[in-house]
Amino acid sequence: MATPPHKLFKNALKMHTARNFKAAADLYQKIIRGDPGHIDALYMFGTLKAEQGDLAAAHELLMQAAALAPHSPMIQNNLGNVYLKSERLDEAAICYQRALQYNPNMHETHFNLASICLRQEKFAEAAQGFEMAITLKPDFFRAHLYLGNLHKTLGNHPKAIHSYRKAMELEQSSAEALYGLANALALHQEYAEAATCFRRLLELHPDDESTKFALAALQGQTPETAPRGYVSSIFDEMAESFDTHLTQLGYRIPEMLRDMMINIAGADARFKNCIDLGCGTGMSGAAFKPYTARISGVDLSSKMIAAARNKAIYDALFEEDLVEHLSRNDEFFDLVLATDVFIYVGELRSLFAAVKQRMMAGGYLLFSTERSDDAEYVLRPSGRYAHSPAYIESLAAEFGFAITYTSPAKIRMEKGVPEMGDIFALRRNGN
């Protein structure tokens, strides 16, 4: 006597829960062969395929289930999960919205939809979604964590601190929440408590170079440069909202450097080969592309490189350390850009030497710095380096550059107060 479908399905669920995927799949398939319209088997088999990473099969099965039960919130939710894993964000969002239309009390669905809004820079909708997820599930750790990340990105440091504290209450051993809290405290200039958090992080991860660097900044120490992992992680985290964030800070350094170049070389100036050091998402590349026959970019952050590639500005992009890239490169450049790059370098002799090696005689090096009026360079509690104009002058003389132009500049706004620095145009001596 054949086993009834409801018993087969019960056994399949038992195998599925036990992560015996092959046995569960065999049972789901047997049920569907006998009844191609068995909604629960289609739904769960599609869910299993998604768990195994077979997104194409998961999509086909869940679409069949959705056609049979178009108002099922769970089917729409899991179909959204498949689209999300496939990076089809708009389609995922539509499915999540449908799921919430049929059942508005699904906290995970609110969270997933908010996460998509965050990636798409729909910040108000993202905040609303995370807050709704927390309302439905007050102990939802990831929602508190992501809400903290969102507020930190937007510069709402007190709100970020509050969210990270809530996350820490739920998972006291979370390094991610502790790191977010430490950074938010530092950004809010609560340096003593931030240092305490970074010390706790070092207890969890004694060899973490990024944490050591952040703590050094808060303790008034000045290492020569920032660790690569520290820089890449900062900008990987910021990549999706980077342009919006800088706009909010009144950041105009690429345009200021471009206008400086026009004042020096004329509006008709054209350069043969330009390299944008620390290119980020391509803001400087966009400002200078009309004046260059060829432009390449280099950055440590893979996500910044991906964002720049999507803009189709550069002829070539490289995910690499700046000095290493210049040292192994066989090209020569008549225009080198370094926009808000030196604030993560500190000691600049190695970089100046590498630039000199690859620069044509008469070529220009354009860059910005935050200003130090005392030391050659100093690491500030913000984790950024400031350089003195005298230090830049000494490097220019040592490496054969003439300072063609320099001017004080408002680098960005910090808590409504201008952060002052300098912009420079250096020209390579020689024929």
Architecture of domain 240-428: 3-Layer(aba) Sandwich (3.40)
- Alpha carbons 320 and 297: distance in angstroms, whole number: 10
Q: pLDDT, tens digit, for every residue of 19-30?
A: 998 998 988 899
At which residue do the structure tokens 């089809």 appear? Answer: 88
Architecture of domain 5-104: Alpha Horseshoe (1.25)
Q: pLDDT, tens digit, for every residue of 236-295?
A: 777 566 656 666 666 788 999 999 999 999 889 999 999 999 999 899 999 999 999 999
Are 233 and 175 in contact, with CB atoms under 8 Å apart?
A: no
Q: What is the mean pLDDT of residues 204-230?
A: 91
Q: How confident is the model at residue 154 (pLDDT cuts 50, 70, 90)?
A: confident
Q: Which two tokens stand for residue 353?
A: 């030497």
Whole-structure pTM value: 0.81
Q: Given a cut of 70, is residue 150 above it in pLDDT?
A: yes
**Whole-number pLDDT of residue 153:** 84
- Alpha carbons 371 and 422: distance in angstroms, whole number: 6
Q: pLDDT, tens digit, for every residue of 79-125?
A: 999 999 999 999 999 999 999 999 999 999 999 999 999 988 899 99
**Whole-number pLDDT of residue 363:** 96
Q: Which CATH number fits domain 148-233: 3.40.50.9100, 3.30.1360.30, 1.25.40.10, 1.10.10.60?
A: 1.25.40.10
Q: pLDDT, tens digit, for every residue of 40-55?
A: 989 898 999 999 999 9
Q: What is the mean pLDDT of residues 151-171?
A: 94
**Whole-number pLDDT of residue 375:** 83
Q: pLDDT, tens digit, for every residue of 227-242?
A: 988 888 888 777 566 6
Q: Given a cut of 90, is residue 318 above it in pLDDT?
A: yes
Give ranges for CATH 3.40.50.150 in the chain. 240-428
Ranking 27-36, 189-198, 349-358 by mean pLDDT, the lowest is 27-36
Q: Given a cut of 80, is residue 416 above it in pLDDT?
A: no
**Whole-number pLDDT of residue 1:** 47
Report the chain's mean pLDDT, rounded to a whole number: 91
Q: What is the mean pLDDT of residues 299-310?
A: 92
Phi, psi of 271 (to 5 degrees): -115, 145
Give ranges for CATH 1.25.40.10 in the chain. 5-104, 148-233
Q: How confident is the model at residue 425 (pLDDT cuts 50, 70, 90)?
A: very high
Q: How confident is the model at residue 431 (pLDDT cuts 50, 70, 90)?
A: low
